[in-house]
């Protein structure tokens, strides 16, 4: 493939993302997609991925903050952009100028946004957040439903503030044990929306993240907010929409050393060779986003065979024991992804990290180029 793979690279399959988009659209009926591309599209490269998603029909995006929204605007993204974190009063002018929608997180926040928009003689667009159980942003519903409804009515009538949508984010309790609580959260949000409708207020509604989009079709509402499900970094679920994995992390062998038995390997040292060994030096380390929690536990793939990681992960390098395989300088090392019949799944790496699948590509640092593949061919890379 004709692109820079001399060191370490993250390879993203655009066809897999397009297939995930098709599957989600087929399963959500009349609902629309809000593509969640926060944290640089979970590490996949938000500008490139967002432009590709626009090409295949996505018109609404969600990011974490105004800075991420502006990155998309500077990259030429034309669709709607919602910040899932609050825009601050000092940011209102920039947000209005660039047609960014804010998360309205409280009555105080709404009043502050209103005051600044009125001062500017402008109107700030927003979606109001309701808290159905996350205890993060939003008007708390549990035990104070009527108060939340009254606060919403007040916010909806503030000058300089145009409330276009209402949403929540469920705490995503694990199946099967969390099913009852998940349905309780859904019921709280639905009750709030119905009470507002009875008082004459209707908004565009969204509450389903990737997990809830897959498993709970009753909460698809006007929009679903999908990140990992769309981008191919999601957990395989027992039922519901299944995504195609779209991401692989690869590197290369830079050197192979013949090392005697009993020799230390890497810092510490925490590892020694138990026999005369062939040690491969691979140019990927914690500065590239690999977690040291995997050292002395993980195996990576070389030429279709798993080989053990030995010793501490360095800032820029790690070492593999390739004594038992035919390996040479320049061979590809697959950290996660496929090499022949051997596959290292994202979930397997996530278990070694002690985290979620979404964390694994998200923490890959900017010095690792993002390489985009379509129809089996290189079509671009992150800058």
In a shared domain, residues 220 and 71: yes
Please give the Cα distance from 233 to 141 (Å, whole number).
31
Residue 18 belongs to some domain of the structure: yes
What's the predicted TM-score (pTM) here? 0.95
Strand pairing partners for 130?
139
Which positions are annotated as active-site residues? 38, 267
In a domain, 369, yes or no: no
The pLDDT value given to residue 57? 97
Q: Which domain holds residue 322?
A: 247-344
Pairing of strands 247-252, 332-339: antiparallel
Average pLDDT by consecutive 10-residue portion of the chain (383 residues)? 78 98 97 98 98 98 98 98 98 98 98 98 98 95 97 98 97 77 95 97 95 94 97 84 95 98 96 97 98 93 98 98 97 97 94 92 96 95 83
Residue 288 included in any domain: yes
Residues 256 and 225 in one domain: no
Q: What is the pLDDT of residue 175?
A: 67
Instruction: Give the burial class of 177: count Cβ atoms within 10 A of its Cβ; 0-12 exposed, 13-18 middle, 19 or more buried.
Output: exposed
Domain stops at, among 196, 231, 266: 231
The CATH number of whichever domain residue 226 belongs to comes to 3.20.20.10
Q: What pLDDT was estimated at residue 1?
A: 44
Beta carbons within 8 Å of 103's beta carbon, 6+ residues apart? 82, 83, 84, 85, 86, 87, 126, 127, 129, 137
List CB contacts of 106: < 8 A, sequence separation 6 or more.
137, 138, 139
């Amino acid at each position: 493939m004709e692109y820079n793979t001399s060191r370490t690279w993250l390879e993203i399959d655009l066809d897999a993302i397009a297939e995930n988009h098709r599957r989600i659209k087929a399963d959500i009926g009349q609902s629309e997609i809000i593509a969640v591309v926060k944290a640089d599209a979970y590490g996949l490269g938000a500008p490139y991925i967002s432009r590709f998603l626009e090409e295949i029909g996505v018109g609404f995006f969600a990011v974490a903050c105004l800075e991420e929204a502006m990155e998309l605007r500077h990259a030429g993204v034309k669709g709607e952009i919602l910040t899932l974190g609050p825009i601050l009063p000092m940011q209102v002018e920039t947000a209005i100028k660039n047609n960014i929608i804010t998360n309205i997180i409280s009555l105080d926040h709404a009043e502050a946004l209103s005051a600044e928009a009125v001062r500017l003689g402008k109107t700030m667009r927003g979606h109001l957040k309701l808290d159905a159980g996350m205890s993060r942003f939003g008007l708390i519903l549990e035990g104070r439903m009527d108060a939340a409804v009254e606060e919403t009515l007040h916010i909806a009538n503030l000058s300089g503030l145009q409330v276009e949508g209402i949403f929540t984010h469920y705490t995503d309790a694990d199946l099967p044990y969390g099913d009852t609580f998940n349905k309780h959260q859904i019921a709280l949000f639905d009750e709030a929306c119905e009470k507002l409708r009875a008082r004459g207020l209707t908004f565009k509604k969204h509450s389903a993240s990737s997990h809830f989009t897959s498993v709970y079709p009753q909460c698809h509402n006007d929009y679903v907010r999908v990140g990992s499900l769309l981008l191919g970094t999601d957990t395989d679920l027992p039922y519901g929409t299944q995504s195609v994995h779209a991401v692989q992390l690869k590197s290369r062998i830079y050197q192979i050393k013949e090392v005697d038995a009993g020799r230390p390997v890497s810092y510490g040292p925490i590892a020694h060779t138990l026999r005369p060994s062939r040690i491969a030096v691979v140019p990927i380390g914690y500065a590239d986003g690999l977690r040291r929690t995997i050292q002395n536990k993980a195996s990576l793939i070389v030429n279709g065979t798993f080989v053990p990681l030995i010793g501490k992960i360095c800032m820029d390098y790690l070492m593999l024991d390739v004594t038992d395989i035919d390996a040479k300088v320049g061979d590809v090392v697959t950290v996660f992804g496929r090499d022949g019949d051997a596959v290292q799944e994202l979930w397997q790496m996530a278990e070694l990290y002690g985290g979620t699948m979404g964390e694994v590509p998200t923490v890959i640092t900017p010095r690792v180029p993002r390489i985009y593949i379509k129809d089996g061919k290189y079509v671009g890379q992150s800058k």
